[in-house]
Chains A and B, each alone.
Chain A
Amino acid sequence: MTRLTDEQLMAYVDGDPLGAAPEIAERMRAMLSAEEQSALDDFRRTGELVRRAYLEDAVEPPPPALVALILGHQPDAKGAVAPPGFTGADTLADVIAIKPRSPLPRSAARLGLAMAASLAALFAAVLLWSMPSDRTDIAHDLVPGPVEAGSALANVLETQMSGRQVAAGRSSDGGDHLMVVGTFRDRNASICREFETLDVDLVPRLAAVACRSQETGSWRVEGMVAIASRDDGGGTSFAPAGAPEQEALATLMSLLGAAETLKPEEERRLIESAWK
């Protein structure tokens, strides 16, 4: 049997149309050679690591001076820059000027939450569009809004350190996994956790952010985005974490006012003290 080329395997992992060729789908259903499997693992791992390594660059808002240069406007006293023709109390300028860990004007915070809600709705639409209707796994159950107390997701968010893959699905094909990617505080100092759902092959399918209410201790999914999907057409296709998805997640984190990721020791201490 002819070995699949690195390019074919990579196209499969990346969800490129070339990776959906019948001969590749056929080989995927059969046993891959050790060499092919190794290449496949390399492409999956490097794709995930490189995306994570550079994701924070997208979270950081662009320098106001650069925005001013492009728009041909001077930043105001807060360093904000209004786009041409944009008026109103809750200006986009406030959003552009958001800097993690800096308190925002109340109006900007309100707008941020409103936009986060809109994004959540958009993410939900993306999710519903991409998920087969008969799935009963955790990714399919996940929706923006309150996380049910005692659910697998709530337990993982409440008790698990970042970087641990926890089996949490109910699928007949082996179940999904959840993995917290990082923990941070939002602009209100509430704890938020970015997490992913991984499919049975441990391929990330959804990235999401949930925040914990300081008053009630309950978790709420603020937004999520599909980073992979699987079709039911006999073959398997993966959608890569493309720019729109990454940008949407980054925008959400920016709107939440995400501070830097907590260090493991701080994360552990907070988990052990029930996030107190």
Chain B
Amino acid sequence: MTAEDDDLRLQMVALLPRLQRFARGLAGSRDAGDDLLQQVCEKALSRLDQFERGTRLDHWLFQIVKTTHIDRVRQQQRQRTADFTDDVVALVPFDARIEEQTMARQELARVREAVQELPEEQREVLMLVVADGLSYQDAAEVYGVPQGTIMSRLARARRKLARAIETPRSQAAREGRTC
């Protein structure tokens, strides 16, 4: 292992909390997120020589999280045998640990639920920009799309999220609203 590799690995460790948060946000639960992160780390380590020195390591790793997550979702979709409704429930797991906590915690759990109900591309941008604090420009670089696209997805996500949080779940159910 070269000194340069050692340095990269240390940087990866320092980035783990951010990667963990992003992975959990995409995967929808702690366990699934941690599984995803494990896979991401293995993939990144096997491709460490492909990382271009002088570029942003966090961007590179976020891209790997994103693509690995997409691969896993596609794989899950291929494996579906049960009826669709059950699968949707399975893809939007609820963290029981949060449910047991305080009222304040319950509100945050409701936020997480609502985030999970957002369309994939909106949820990804929301996690990167709002939860992780990436700038619009940085998020655009991670996704390889124009900054305006990022802003448009993010604005739609947040307006939708605001409505979802304010709408009582029972009312949403009556209206048949999904997100």
Q: Chain A: residues with CB nearer than 8 A to chain B?
A: 6-7, 10-11, 14, 16, 18, 39, 41-43, 45-47, 49-54, 57-58, 60-63, 66-67, 69-72, 83-85, 96, 162-163, 182, 240-247, 250, 260-264
Q: Mark B78-116, 1 if CB is under 8 A from A, else 0.
A: 000000000000000000000001111101110110010
Q: Complex Cα distance A57/B127, Å?
A: 12
11 A-B pairs in the complex with CB atoms less than 8 angstroms apart? A43-B158, A53-B109, A53-B131, A54-B112, A54-B131, A66-B38, A69-B45, A240-B133, A244-B133, A246-B133, A247-B17
A-facing residues in B1-56 (Cβ within 8 Å): 1, 6, 9-10, 12-13, 16-18, 20-21, 24-25, 30, 33-34, 37-38, 41-42, 45
B108 touches A47 (CB 8 A): no
Indicate whether B152 reaches chain A with its CB closer than 8 angstroms.
yes
Q: Mark B98-142, 1 if CB is under 8 A from A, else 0.
A: 000111110111011001000000000011011111111000000
Which residues of B lie under 8 Å from residue A263 when comparing CB positions?
101-102
Which residues of A lie under 8 Å from residue B18 when comparing CB positions?
58, 243, 247
A261 with B105, Cβ < 8 A, contacts A42-B158, A57-B24, A63-B34 known:
yes
A50 touches B159 (CB 8 A): no
Q: Complex Cα distance A261/B151, Å?
A: 34
B21, B112, B129, B152: the one contacting A58 at CB < 8 Å is B21
Which residues of A lie under 8 Å from residue B6 when comparing CB positions?
83-85
A39 to chain B, nearest CB (A): 7
Which residues of A lie under 8 Å from residue B133 when comparing CB positions?
240-246
Which residues of B lie under 8 Å from residue A84 when comparing CB positions?
1, 6, 9-10
A39, A49, A62, A250: the one contacting B159 at CB < 8 Å is A39
Which residues of B lie under 8 Å from residue A70 when comparing CB positions?
9, 12-13, 16, 41, 45
A-B contacts at CB below 8 angstroms, number: 140
Q: Complex Cα distance A39/B36, Å?
A: 34
Q: Complex Cα distance A53/B25, Å?
A: 10
A46 touches B105 (CB 8 A): no
B91 to chain A, nearest CB (A): 19
Q: Complex Cα distance A6/B161, Å?
A: 14
Indicate whether B57 reaches chain A with its CB closer than 8 angstroms.
no
B25 touches A54 (CB 8 A): yes
Q: How large is the interface on B (under 10, 10 to 19, 20 to 34, 35 or more residues)?
A: 35 or more
Which residues of B lie under 8 Å from residue A45 when comparing CB positions?
162, 165
Q: Chain A interface mostly helix, strand, loop or mixed?
A: helix
Which residues of B lie under 8 Å from residue A52 when comparing CB positions?
108, 111
A261 touches B102 (CB 8 A): yes
Having A10-B154, A70-B41, one finds 13 other A-B pairs with CB under 8 Å, namely: A39-B159, A43-B155, A47-B158, A60-B20, A66-B37, A69-B38, A71-B13, A83-B6, A85-B6, A240-B133, A247-B17, A260-B101, A264-B102
A163 touches B104 (CB 8 A): yes
B42 touches A69 (CB 8 A): yes
Indicate whether B148 reaches chain A with its CB closer than 8 angstroms.
yes
Which residues of A lie under 8 Å from residue B13 when comparing CB positions?
62, 67, 70-71, 83, 96
Q: Complex Cα distance A53/B123, Å?
A: 14
Q: Complex Cα distance A242/B139, Å?
A: 13
In order of increasing CB-CB distance, the 6 nearest A-B pairs are A242-B133, A42-B162, A62-B16, A243-B133, A57-B21, A6-B155
Which residues of A lie under 8 Å from residue B154 when comparing CB positions?
10
Q: Complex Cα distance A10/B126, Å?
A: 12
Please give me the residue from chain B that is nearest to A68 by CB atom: B13
A66 to chain B, nearest CB (A): 6
B45 touches A50 (CB 8 A): no
